[in-house]
Chain A
């Protein structure tokens, strides 16, 4: 655990702000006028009971969903509709709740795929795999090997990811997101389905990414212990509305949050 005060000082200006975002699928309201912000270099947790709209929120930030109302400002730019590959180009990387890897490819190729946007050599060179294409391949491979070392997955890098155990798949997915060298990293339940040891490893990686690379992280997590330890600030959603926002300690003692999680006596 780190002292919250020290971390607050490190957190900088607002990187992303969500203002009054509403999203509905037909008659189902997934999000209703949600507003919050994410500051540079902080770890921001989004929590809430099942069906609270947490994943929808990430999908909105990353461009998979387009909200009907509200504005999203990322790095000072407000956008109406952003498509996922444009969000990726802008520096937003993410992982998925149920792991979305390229199953037929090796761990190495998966992480290399995360460098797609950083590689620019032309189609013809690529076809011949010669000259600039080859030089680029070598240069990015070096960076990817660093990430592989960092995540301690060197031993599985030539294994088809479909064959890996779940915990390692999650780690490869994190690696692919890191390979994009994002400004904002969105993690959707990075520790779901993991045992204690795997959770500890993953927590360590998340803290190291945040500390060493200065990457801003927004994460959804159900394990309250992990959330309280890792995050600098927490947003709580319930039925698509924001019910609390603040430091872990403040949120923990908030009556609305306690009611949402434990239910209210009628």
Chain B
């Protein structure tokens, strides 16, 4: 009896008697949820356009944040410049060897990468101003997307999805190694001030109490909303968006209407890289930039199950449900179970969802005629 009371009555009495605390908990959950959603968004982008679950999305978040901070602190590391020079020139040479004709975009990009490597080797060896570091990081994410397409995806065209999934595992460990090698493994502090991210908090007087809202959290919410809105429209209503979805549905049909798979994959991995960068900045600003962040990325899994693997708005709604559910559970029901509820509640919610709505809240349920 007493247990039932504690489960079903007591938490709601608490909510009723201290509504400001409830609002604070909801807000914390909302913010956590938005950050989960940002990670989930990266997964959705790649899943939507290639049917591949990209296990490396978490490490891409860490890698992007690490690159940004590392560049600002100690400049572009010479070994990485050398890799870019050698890689860019090597790739261009390989392309020229195969096809000596005119400069195609591949060669131009490869040469540009090599040129950037040279520039970085001579001029970017010391601390780089924050916004230049940001721009260079965007460039690094682009090169990463190019590299993934050329070296990982293209050799695996037409392989079963599980093979591509395993390849993203390989990519994960490669990026962990590369990140540690180049920037070191110790946690770093995100350059929030230098990027003019707001800090401090605002007090919000509500329901006879105070709720404190971190400004960085408000900014994270705003940025996430804008990204989701832009990406949702982009995917639904534009040529490239249609091409992305087309590639996900049928490779051969996409090829037959003249869509280039290579181009689409680079675009989508680059977009996922940009989302990873934004996520890395926001997560980094709240905690530290460390490799532990990639574990949090696994929380995106329940978010995806809830929202549907193919839905951009679903990522946001799923993220918010998981975030809020987690915080409420931790705060009101946690003491009953000796706390620590936060680490598994998300998976539990996802499991319940799988039973009743396996395609997620917004996922497409493809009905096929047979």
A residues near B, CB below 8 A?
62, 64, 83-85, 88-89, 93-94, 96, 100-105, 109, 112-117, 119, 121, 123, 126-129, 133, 136-137, 160, 162-166, 176-177, 179-180
User: A121 CA to B254 CA in the complex, in Å?
Assistant: 19
Interface contact A123-B240, CB-CB below 8 Å: yes
User: A137 CA to B241 CA in the complex, in Å?
Assistant: 12
Interface contact B240-A176, CB-CB below 8 Å: no
Chain A residues within an 8 Å CB radius of B159: none
Chain B residues within an 8 Å CB radius of A93: 256-257
Query: How big is the B interface, by class?
Result: 20 to 34
Interface contact B252-A180, CB-CB below 8 Å: no
Binary interface encoding of chain B residues 223-256 relative to chain A, with 1 for a CB under 8 A from any of its CBs, else 0? 0000000100110011111110110111011111
Say yes or no: is B364 at the interface (Cβ < 8 Å to chain A).
yes
Say yes or no: is B258 at the interface (Cβ < 8 Å to chain A).
yes
User: A137 CA to B233 CA in the complex, in Å?
Assistant: 13
Q: A104-B245, A119-B239, A129-B234 are in contact. Are A88 and B256 (CB under 8 A)?
A: yes
- Tell me the dominant secondary structure on chain B's binding face: helix
6 nearest A-B pairs in the assembled complex, by CB-CB distance = A88-B258, A100-B253, A84-B255, A102-B249, A117-B258, A119-B239
In the complex, how many angstroms separate the beta carbon of A104 from the nearest chain B beta carbon?
5
Interface contact A126-B239, CB-CB below 8 Å: yes
Say yes or no: is B267 at the interface (Cβ < 8 Å to chain A).
yes
In the complex, how many angstroms separate the beta carbon of B108 from the nearest chain A beta carbon?
16
Instruction: Name which of A84, A112, A160, A162 has the most chain B CB atoms within 10 A of its CB.
Output: A84
Interface contact A180-B367, CB-CB below 8 Å: no
Chain B residues within an 8 Å CB radius of A179: 257
Interface contact B250-A116, CB-CB below 8 Å: no
Apart from A94-B256, A163-B367, what 12 extra A-B contacts exist at CB < 8 Å? A88-B255, A100-B253, A101-B250, A104-B366, A105-B242, A105-B245, A109-B242, A113-B254, A119-B239, A137-B238, A162-B366, A180-B258
User: A64 CA to B239 CA in the complex, in Å?
Assistant: 23
Chain B residues within an 8 Å CB radius of A164: 369
Say yes or no: is B112 at the interface (Cβ < 8 Å to chain A).
no
Which residues of B, 245-277, contact A by the 8 Å Cβ criterion?
A: 245-246, 248-250, 252-261, 267
7 pairs of residues in contact across A and B, judged by CB atoms under 8 Å = A85-B255, A100-B253, A105-B242, A109-B242, A113-B242, A162-B369, A177-B257
Chain B residues within an 8 Å CB radius of A166: 369
In the complex, how many angstroms separate the beta carbon of A129 from the nearest chain B beta carbon?
5
Binary interface encoding of chain B residues 340-370 relative to chain A, with 1 for a CB under 8 A from any of its CBs, else 0? 0000000000000000000000001011110
Interface contact A137-B237, CB-CB below 8 Å: yes
CB < 8 Å neighbour of A129 from B238, B255, B368: B238
Residue of A nearest to B240 (CB): A126
In the complex, how many angstroms separate the beta carbon of B317 from the nearest chain A beta carbon?
19
In the complex, how many angstroms separate the beta carbon of A122 from the nearest chain B beta carbon?
10
Interface contact A103-B252, CB-CB below 8 Å: no
Instruction: Name which of B237, B238, B240 has the most chain A CB atoms within 10 A of its CB.
Output: B238
Chain B residues within an 8 Å CB radius of A117: 257-258
Chain A residues within an 8 Å CB radius of B364: 104, 160
Chain B residues within an 8 Å CB radius of A83: 255
Q: A102-B245, A127-B234 are in contact. Are A113 and B240 (CB under 8 A)?
A: no
Interface contact A103-B238, CB-CB below 8 Å: no
User: A113 CA to B369 CA in the complex, in Å?
Assistant: 23
Interface contact A129-B233, CB-CB below 8 Å: yes
Interface contact A89-B249, CB-CB below 8 Å: no
In the complex, how many angstroms separate the beta carbon of A50 from the nearest chain B beta carbon?
21
Interface contact B258-A103, CB-CB below 8 Å: no
Chain A residues within an 8 Å CB radius of B259: 85, 113, 116
User: A133 CA to B267 CA in the complex, in Å?
Assistant: 17
Chain A residues within an 8 Å CB radius of B245: 102, 104-105, 109
Interface contact B234-A126, CB-CB below 8 Å: yes
User: A88 CA to B255 CA in the complex, in Å?
Assistant: 8
User: A116 CA to B260 CA in the complex, in Å?
Assistant: 10
User: A112 CA to B239 CA in the complex, in Å?
Assistant: 8
Chain A residues within an 8 Å CB radius of B368: 103, 162
Chain B residues within an 8 Å CB radius of A114: 257
User: A250 CA to B330 CA in the complex, in Å?
Assistant: 83
